């Protein structure tokens, strides 16, 4: 008899066949179960300890999974799902995971019956196409300018979040912020960049009700010389720079050898004149407020305060961009290139206020701001973080609607209208979970608008309750979930174990390293 042939190294473990399918399905279900209870208006919160020992209290699917450190490869790819969903549409992170988990769970029965995974995948893809077709059929367009409609939509999307008790507040904030920064690109396309032009400033203290959207921007800076410079300017002329207003130093260590005493005075004089020139060039335009991203020397401060100009230095680049958008200024790189058109005159008021124990500069009452700041107040830091996450979701929803003004019924109603049995069972996960989180059982709905009222658990007409989902969130959710389920189903072999790399050319046999079970596990758990 032949001696057995070793293909894989001893340190590698290999699982294949149906064992892998079951393992993957179990892992994915485990991930789905973690965040299943965070779906719907009666959802629970999760409390996580992150690596730095801080705590995160949230029910945003993505935030939870981001903090988890997971060893199983299939579970890892499930987590990627919620991240994609978060980046693409910003909402529905929990639904994606729950759906994908159910898809795999349903497939398990078929695998036991010896169906080939590719057959199941094909059926799922067919179901996906039909699902999207059904979505198109039951979706309805809305008018973006109808505020009450938009409010009810954003509210139903964040009704599942912790802040739903401050209901309209967050929805109002999100709508105001997104409608402010929306830019029409023509041809009916709207570009809403919430990452770049909406800043969320969290300031502990005060009550949540004090939160508001500023018609402009604010930042955590005071004027350079608080005593001399004005802290309140009405209709300021604003100049934004991103160059230092101080004497340029040499690139590397420069030595200047002076022979005569007087030359030193000449050098200093040159520095002073250089700065004076810069200031004169700027003051020519009679600004009221000069903001630079870089440093501002004492001398320059002196010239500015003499001319009655307020100055702010070392501002973040992102903040500077926002100010430019808000008051219509252009950021200038060199003072000698200033033009009248670069000056921002769109702001109605500049003032420095003290909130808590820090100073904040406000540039507000702008005419047509294309950037804004959302000011959040609240009791504790954890609360504020959670409110901010909810606001992010709410703004994403508002942005999605501004981009695609189409709606589908919420409350699991969309998921209840299904042509296939297997896929239907999986899709029902969403309404089923909604119901479970309220503690009731339910029957099937025939009407496309029948869903579950997440607060009472009753079966109700979603049209009357104004529970909506945005069309592209739903579409993205289905696509991501089904594609992921197909991908995980197709895996039939997992080879794990860390390969030891040898330097090329060293032929001598390396000492066999004996890995205890503990080591083997630890090494895989290091997150990428």
Check 393, 414, 433, 450 and give the catalytic one. 393
178 is catalytic: no
User: What is the b/e burial string over 103-138, where b = at least 16 CB atoms within 10 angstroms of the residue's CB?
Assistant: bbbbbbebbeeeeebeebbebbeebbeebeebbeee
Q: In sequence order, what DSSP letters do the residues of 281-294 get, joined into one string?
A: HHHTT--SEEEESS
Check 38, 86, 91, 93 and give the catalytic one. 93
105 token code pair: 């769970």
Check 38, 58, 91, 94 and give the catalytic one. 94
Residue 20 to residues 346, 484, 523, Cα–Cα distance (Å):
62, 16, 21
Closest by CA position to 459, among listed 439, 442, 446: 442
Alpha helices in 404-441 (DSSP H): 421-427, 429-438
Counting beta carbons within 10 angstroms of the beta carbon of residue 417, is it exposed (0 to 12), middle (13 to 18) or buried (19 or more)? Answer: buried
What does the alpha-carbon distance between residue 93 and residue 393 come to, in Å, rounded to a whole number?
Answer: 10
Q: Give the CA-trace dihedral at 419, 421, 427, 431, to 10 degrees.
A: 100
What does the alpha-carbon distance between residue 213 and residue 173 come to, in Å, rounded to a whole number?
Answer: 6
311 token code pair: 């100055």
381 token code pair: 């830091």
Check 38, 58, 60, 480 and give the catalytic one. 60
What does the alpha-carbon distance between residue 48 and residue 447 come to, in Å, rounded to a whole number?
Answer: 40
| Paired sense of beta strands 198-204 and 372-378, if any | parallel
What does the alpha-carbon distance between residue 456 and residue 433 come to, in Å, rounded to a whole number?
Answer: 13
Residue 359 CB partners (closer than 8 Å, separation 6+): 220, 221, 222, 352, 353
393 is catalytic: yes
Q: Give the CA-trace dihedral at 84, 87, 90, 91, to 10 degrees.
A: 0
What does the alpha-carbon distance between residue 212 and residue 377 come to, in Å, rounded to a whole number?
Answer: 9
60 is catalytic: yes
276 token code pair: 């004076």
Question: Which residues are catalytically annotated?
Answer: 60, 93-94, 393
């Amino acid at each position: 008899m032949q001696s057995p042939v070793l293909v894989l190294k001893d340190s590698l473990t290999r699982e294949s066949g149906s064992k892998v399918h079951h393992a993957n399905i179990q892992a994915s279900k485990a991930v789905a179960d973690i965040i299943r209870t965070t779906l719907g208006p009666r959802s629970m919160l999760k409390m996580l300890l992150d690596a730095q020992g801080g705590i995160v209290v949230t029910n945003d699917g993505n935030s939870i999974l981001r903090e988890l450190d997971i060893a199983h490869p299939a579970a890892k790819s499930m987590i990627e799902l919620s991240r994609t969903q978060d980046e693409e549409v910003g909402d529905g992170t929990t639904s994606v995971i729950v759906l994908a988990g159910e898809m795999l769970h349903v497939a398990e029965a078929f695998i036991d019956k010896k169906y080939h995974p590719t057959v199941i995948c094909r059926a799922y893809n067919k179901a996906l196409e039909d699902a999207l077709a059904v979505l198109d059929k039951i979706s309805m367009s809305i008018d973006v300018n109808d505020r009450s409609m938009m409010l009810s939509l954003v509210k139903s999307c964040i009704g599942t979040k912790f802040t739903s008790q401050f209901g309209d507040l967050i929805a109002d904030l999100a709508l105001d912020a997104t409608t402010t920064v929306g830019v029409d690109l023509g041809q009916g396309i709207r570009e809403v960049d919430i990452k770049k032009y909406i800043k969320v400033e969290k300031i502990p203290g005060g009550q949540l009700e004090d939160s508001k959207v500023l018609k402009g921007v604010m930042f955590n800076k005071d004027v350079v010389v608080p005593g001399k410079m004005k802290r309140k300017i009405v209709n300021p002329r604003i100049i934004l720079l991103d160059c230092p207003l101080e004497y340029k130093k040499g690139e590397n260590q420069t030595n200047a050898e002076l022979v005569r005493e007087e030359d030193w005075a000449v050098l200093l004089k040159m520095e002073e004149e250089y700065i004076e020139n810069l200031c004169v060039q700027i003051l020519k335009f009679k600004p009221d407020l000069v903001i630079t991203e870089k440093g501002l020397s004492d001398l320059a401060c002196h010239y500015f305060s003499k001319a009655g100009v307020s100055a702010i230095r070392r501002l973040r680049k992102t903040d500077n961009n926002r100010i430019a958008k808000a008051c219509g200024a252009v950021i200038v790189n060199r003072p000698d290139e200033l033009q009248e058109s670069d000056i921002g005159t769109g702001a109605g008021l500049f003032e420095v206020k003290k909130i808590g124990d820090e100073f904040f500069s406000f540039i507000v009452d702008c005419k047509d701001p294309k950037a804004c700041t959302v000011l959040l107040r609240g009791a504790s830091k954890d609360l504020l973080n959670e409110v901010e996450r909810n606001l992010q979701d709410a703004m994403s929803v508002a942005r999605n609607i501004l981009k695609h003004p189409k709606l589908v019924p919420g409350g699991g109603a969309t998921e209840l209208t299904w042509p296939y049995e297997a896929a239907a069972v999986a899709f029902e996960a969403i309404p089923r979970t909604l119901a479970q989180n309220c503690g009731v059982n339910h029957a099937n709905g025939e009407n496309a608008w029948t869903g579950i009222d997440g607060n009472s658990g009753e079966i109700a007409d979603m049209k009357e309750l104004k529970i909506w989902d945005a069309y592209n969130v739903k579409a993205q959710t289905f696509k991501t979930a089904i594609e992921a389920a197909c991908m995980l189903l197709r895996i039939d072999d997992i080879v794990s174990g860390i390969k030891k790399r040898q330097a090329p050319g060293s032929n001598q046999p390396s000492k066999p390293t004996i890995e205890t079970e503990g080591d083997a596990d630890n090494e895989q758990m290091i997150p990428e």
